[in-house]
Structure 1
C-alpha cells in the first residue's frame, strides 16, 4: 500500500483539464456552436475584429468578439430585423423592461436589433454554461420573433 500512496496523492493534485473552460477564442466558439447544430462562418466585423455568422430557425445573427488581447474578454450575439414599418419605441422599451435576456434597440429607420452579451474575461466560462447561454439565445430569438410577428 505504501508504494501507491505517492501516486494517489499526485493524482489528487492534478488540475482539471483546461479544455473544460470556454475562452474568448473564435475557433472554440465556432466549434461549440457547430456541436450544437449551428453553422458558424468566420468573417470580420466592420471594425476589423473577428466575427461569426450563423442562423437559428431562419434568423441570421452575428457573434462579435470584444477586447481580443490575446483572448477575447467578451462576445455578443446580435440579430437585426428589417421590418416593413418602424417598431415603436414603446414596444422596444416594454421588451427590455419585461425580459431579463436580450437587449433591444432600434436603428435610424426603426428596425429592431437584439443583443445578448457573454463575459469570458479571465478564465472564461464552463462549457455547460456556454451551452446554456447558447440555448438562452435560441429562446430569446424565438420569443422576439413572435413578439414582433416576424
Structure 2
C-alpha cells in the first residue's frame, strides 16, 4: 500500500508539473485556452482580465488592448482600437504599405484599429510568444506616434 501511495504521489507531481503551460522558454505551444493565455500574460508581468466576450484585456503602454484566440486556440490575435481620432484611410493605407507584420484598418465608424496575428499551428516556443508580445508593443508605439 505504501508503494502505491508513493507511486501515486510521484504520478500526481509529474502530471501537475506537465500541466504548467509555460514551464520554460523551450516549451512548445500548439494550442492555448483562454486560461493559458491569461496565465502567460500574467507571468509576463501584465494584469490581464478574462472578459465575457472571450478575450483577455490588459493595459500595454497605458492603453487598453485585447488578445483573442481563434481557430480553436491555435492562433492568437493582438488588438487595439481607438475612437475620436483624425486618422484617415490614407493614413491607414500608408501604414499597411510600410509595415508587414501589423495591419491597421478603419471600422464602420471610421475608428482605427491595429492588429497582429500569431499562428501556433505546428508549435512555437514560449520565447517566440514573448517575442510576439514585444512586437505588439513595438508596433503599438509606432502606430500611436503615427496617429499623433
TM-score range, shorter chain: 0.7 to 0.9
Structural mapping, 1:15-26, within 5 Å: 19=23, 20-22=27-29, 23-26=31-34
Alpha-carbon spacing, 1:43–1:140, altered in 2? closer, same or farther (3 Å): same
- Displacement of 1:109: 2.2
Q: Quote the residue 1:52 is aligned against.
A: 56
Q: Quote the residue 2:13 is aligned against.
A: none
- TM-score (ref. length: structure 1): 0.76
Structural mapping, 1:31-110, within 5 Å: 31-45=39-53, 50-68=54-72, 72-85=73-86, 87-110=87-110
Aligned residues: 124
Structure (1/2) with the larger strand percentage: 1
Unaligned runs of 5+ in 2: 1-17
Unaligned runs of 5+ in 1: 1-16
- Displacement of 1:58: 1.3
Distance in structure 1 (CA, Å) of the matches to 2:75 and 2:81: 20
- TM-score (ref. length: structure 2): 0.76
Instruction: Report the RMSD for the aligned CA atoms in angstroms.
Output: 1.7
Structure (1/2) with the larger helix percentage: 2
- Give the match's secondary structure for 1:44: coil
1:133 paired to 2:132? yes
Q: C-alpha deviations, 1:108-144, integer Å up to 9, x for none? A: 221100110111124x310000000001101111111
